[in-house]
Structure 1
Amino acid sequence: MDISTKRHNRGTGRAIPVLLPAAILTAAFLLARQPELRLAVPMLVGATAVMTMALAAALHYRGQGRIAWSPPVILAVALALRLMFLFAPPQLSDDCYRYLWDGSSLLHGINPYAAAPTAVSPPPELAAVHARINHPDYITIYPPWPRSSLPGAPPWGVPLPASRRF
């Protein structure tokens, strides 16, 4: 190996710990900017492929001892990823509206196992959540254990970013 190759490898070795998280954050940012992910399937597949390759490269280089990220760096990247999606609308699933409705029903003394959402007229502050429930003519199918955290959601407007903390 000549000197120029050694210099090139040394420079690349220093860039890898920065480039891999940057690739993951950039791909996630592109996804977070999509208003409707199910209509952007090529973008979703491409961004997921980029993130998967970056994570595989991180594992490979970590195994070689070429990179070592400190816990604060890992936590900073994780926090940045969460913040990107915190205020985005729910994507690819509308179960969150059922969770919010079931929790609000419990707060209002309605058993979600006894009455389907269509059988109950929603209070005005929950009308938007009620309108977005998938299969509103079915009673809830979710087990009681996860339901124990639902009454803690505020019954007004129910901010979805707050419900994503879990």
Structure 2
Amino acid sequence: MPTLEKDLRQAILALPATRKDKLLLQLLNAQPVLQDQLRFELLEGPEELELRRETLAAQVQTATQGFYYNANELLICLRALCPPLSYHAKITNDVYGEISLLLLLLQEVLVHQKEMLQTLTGGTEALGLFLAKRAEEMLQKLRKLHEDLHVEFSDVVNEMLPRLHASAAGYAARKLGVPVQWE
């Protein structure tokens, strides 16, 4: 994002408060993401963060525990879950929550859809690649967290990774360099 020129910045700061407010509201009308970020920061705050996480976790559990006729149907459902998880992180800056939700998604699929992921076939290959990429994404985000928080995730991650490698996603996970054991 380009920065304002120094003289323009000073001119804007010198504007009367009512004019600045009007300009701010005009700019916000065209920025729905910024509106949501401000709504969270100004109206909801950290108190609502846990509620948002719980709502998304319930959506993940409902989707991953459902019945699917084939791997493509499950993959479509899982792909629809990822944008709300990313949007949550973008709005709230909740990297911890995004990691825990991605981890929950992976765990739930590997437990509740185990039969669908037993063998690598043409139908399960795309699903396996999707799961391996989400695991890689989750591990990258986890590495960026403070080391003290790694302890909170290590048991669950080390329980999930061997399951991932033992499933139809194992081939894609090995190709992407997803480890079997984390730290």
Normalised by the size of structure 1, how large is the TM-score?
0.35
Say which one has the larger Rg.
1
Normalised by the size of structure 2, how large is the TM-score?
0.32
- Structure that is richer in helix per residue: 2
